[in-house]
Amino acid sequence: MEQKCQDCDATMKILDDVVVGEIISCPDCGNEFEVSKIDSNSVTLSPAESVGEDWGE
């Protein structure tokens, strides 16, 4: 499967065995997206939440 990056419009290849919750990275801009839904021949991606370091604060 292929999906367009929501940020830079690059084509991202998504494997057929992808699962909900998996993180997909754009090969061009490096942004990460989480697989939120899988239909028969398509996936729905949402921006992955990034967890910042708190460095013990």
Consecutive 10-residue averages of pLDDT for the chain (57 residues):
92 92 94 92 87 65
Q: What predicted TM-score, i.e. pTM, was given to this entire model?
A: 0.77
Token code pair at residue 38:
């899988």
For residue 40, what pLDDT is reported? 80
CA distances from 4 to 15, 27, 45, 51 (A): 14, 11, 10, 24
Is domain 2-47 annotated with CATH 2.20.28? yes
For residue 8, what pLDDT is reported? 95
